[in-house]
Amino acid sequence: MRPLSTWQLLSLWEQGLAQPLANWALLVLSAACPETPAEQLAELSIGNRDSHILTLREWTFGPNLTCLAACPTCSEKLELNFQTANIRALPPPETSELMLTHNGYQVRFRLPNSVDVTAVTGDRDPTENRRLLFQRCLLEVRRSKGKVVAADVLPEPVVEAVITQMAAADPQADVQLALDCPHCRHHWLAPFDIVAFFWAEINTWAYRVLHEVHLLAAAYGWSEADILALTPWRRRFYLEMVRP
């Protein structure tokens, strides 16, 4: 994996404007990992994918992250400041299959990947999407005496046990921030999605860079490629010269 240039980031931002987030994440990984087939990247577990995105974000904007959260009890706004190291989890197991025995059921399953997420994303109810995603990851379900049974007959406690093991095996896929409201003292866990966060940052960054390109092109007659080829420090110097 390699860092992305300013030109690549702008191109990926432009492509991402018309893409679901899951697809945009794969576009980013493909650009950063040109030696790895796109199909192989799509089969990475969600946590493994997010770990790569987290590294790219660190290379692009540094290790510090800042975001806002709202207290679900009193709506107080909290500014969160933390580092990429604070949310980096252990990588998932290298094996593509996992096994769980619970309440007389033996379930063989795998971790969700980008192909699964893309397949279930749509206008369906979120609960239905979760059910479809879960079923896509089931490889085989057996009861006592080794009898194979349909996935849709799994009791809820077994389903919850499988989901719990999935989360434990791929913790980067479900990052939760432990937050405390200074106003009402409410404590809660807030999910953090590095793909959505990185996209929001790149979206803001792209508008700023394109505005800088516009100012410098108007002032000096340079092409977009020439301006983007400048180092950030040199581009800032020229901007200070043309800004009133």
DSSP string, 184-209: T--EEEEEE-HHHHHHHHHHHHHHHH
Return the half-sphere exposure (C-beta side, CA atoms, 13 A cut-off) of residue 190.
Answer: 19
User: pLDDT tens digits, residue range 186-221?
Assistant: 999 999 999 999 999 999 999 999 999 999 999 999
Q: Are 165 and 98 in contact (CB under 8 A)?
A: yes
Mean per-residue pLDDT for 80-108?
Answer: 89
* 6 vs 205: CA distance, rounded Å: 10
Strand partners, 64: 83
Pairwise CA distance, residues 39 & 47, whole Å = 17
Band of the pLDDT at 122, cuts 50, 70, 90? Answer: low
**Mean per-residue pLDDT for 100-116?**
92
Question: Which band of pLDDT confidence, cut at 50, 70 and 90, is reported for residue 95?
Answer: confident
Q: What rounded mean pLDDT belongs to the chain?
A: 92
Q: Where are the domains of the chain?
A: 6-89+177-242, 98-169
In degrees and rounded to multiples of 5, residue 199 shows phi and psi of -60, -45
pTM of the model: 0.89
pLDDT value of position 130? 87
Indicate the burial class of 145 (C-beta count within 10 angstroms; 0-12, 13-18, 19 or more).
exposed
Q: Which residues are 138's β-sheet partners?
A: 109
Residue 120: predicted pLDDT: 84
The dihedral over CA atoms of 74, 76, 81, 83, expressed in degrees to the nearest 10, equals 30
Mean of pLDDT values over 88-115 = 89
pLDDT top residue among 126 and 56: 56
Q: Is residue 243 scored above 70 in pLDDT?
A: yes
Q: pLDDT digit string (tens) for 143-180?
A: 877 788 887 888 999 999 999 999 999 999 999 999 99
Is residue 238's pLDDT more than 70?
yes
List pLDDT tens digits, range 33-43. 999 999 999 99
Q: CA-CA distance, 169 to 192, in Å (whole number)?
A: 18
CA 211/CA 243 separation, integer angstroms = 12
